[in-house]
Amino acid sequence: MDLRYIDKKDENRKVVKVKDVSIGDGDIVIIAGPCSVEDAEMILKTSRFVKGLGAVLLRGGAFKPRTSPYAFQGLKNEGLTYLKNASEATGMPVVSEVMDPRDVEFIYDYVDMFQIGSRNMQNFSLLREVGKTNKPILLKRGMAATIEDFLMAAEYIAYEGNDNIVLCERGIRTFENYTRNTLDITAVPILKQLCKLPVIVDPSHGTGRRDLVLPMSLASLAAGADGVMIEVHPVPEEALSDSEQSLSFEEFEQVSKRIMAVKSCFSDIRGI
């Protein structure tokens, strides 16, 4: 595999900084927030709650890549304003998806990290465009992408000059339909063997089921992941997207407490 900018040349792993948050330094990070920003109040409330439980980065989609054009598409510019306001109120950096190369410049001022979603993992013009910025990137694995496809997508970004990339395993499509996707936990140690970038796991999209978020978070961390990204909503049953996989505040509290409790047990796996 021809990796030139993200390869593991030496033992120094890349630590990606998102404002004052470090990803890949050996500590475990929790990224949490709703699938979509739905209004000003819910994002602020969620931000305050997850921060209180140890989450260090707030997530929330304003531009949503939905399967159906008739499904909620996100609040777009308005959503970004709500997200930025929540970030300023709580001091949490934010990550949000950019779907179109033409939006990169505009979204740049609202987010601390760009998310490239699964459906756009091989949108090469988008990869090049975010690669020209100095903003950290959360690159999600395409749902039918091999490890090589995934790493090559990251290489496109880094080739343009930006190697502040965090890889996110979020499940792949297989014949199994008991879960929304099949979470490929083997990708975690493999990606870490092959490149210098931090690797996190999204057990929410990876399973599509809220009851599987806790076990899959723990499994990911045991496999060496640098963190997890979890969808949380004040009233999951009423969420405008990804209702089935979103945790309530109470559920997130249980999950984050368990993660914090076992954190130190996994430190040798991540080399600290």
Segment interacting with ligand PEP (CB under 6 A) among 2-10, 44-52, 85-93, 113-121: 113-121
C-beta neighbour count of 66 within 10 angstroms: 15
**Residue of minimal Cβ distance to ligand PEP:** 117
- Longest C-alpha distance within the chain, in Å? 48
Count, residues near Mn ion per rule CB under 5 A = 2
Out of Mn ion, ligand PEP, none, what residue 201 binds, judged by CB under 5 to 8 A for its kind, is none
Among 205, 210, 233, 270, binds ligand PEP (CB under 6 A): 205
Out of ligand PEP, Mn ion, none, what residue 32 binds, judged by CB under 5 to 8 A for its kind, is none
Please, are residues 37 and 79 in contact by the beta-carbon 8 Å criterion?
A: yes
By rule CB under 6 A, what string of x and - marks binding of each residue 24-53 to ligand PEP? Answer: -----------x------------------
| Residue 28 vs 35, nearer CB to ligand PEP | 35
With CA atoms as reference, report the closest residue to 192 among 217, 157, 221, 215. 221
CA angle 88, 94, 95 (to 5 degrees): 160
**Six token digits for residue 260:** 């914090």
Q: Does 117 bind ligand PEP (CB under 6 A)?
A: yes
Say how far apart CA 137 and CA 115 lie, in whole Å. 6
By rule CB under 6 A, what string of x and - marks binding of each residue 134-173 to ligand PEP? Answer: ------x-----------------------------x---
| Residue 169 vs 242, nearer CB to Mn ion | 242
By rule CB under 5 A, what string of x and - marks binding of each residue 7-46 to Mn ion? Answer: ----------------------------x-----------
3-class SS shares of the chain: helix, strand, coil, % to 5: 40, 15, 40
- Buried b vs exposed e over 247-271: b needs ≥16 C-beta within 10 Å? bebebbbebbeebeeeeeebeeebe
- H helix or E strand, kind and range, residue 165: strand 165-169
Helix (H, G, I), strand (E, B) or coil at 241: coil
CB of 136 to ligand PEP, least distance (A): 16
Residues in touch with Mn ion (CB under 5 A)? 35, 242
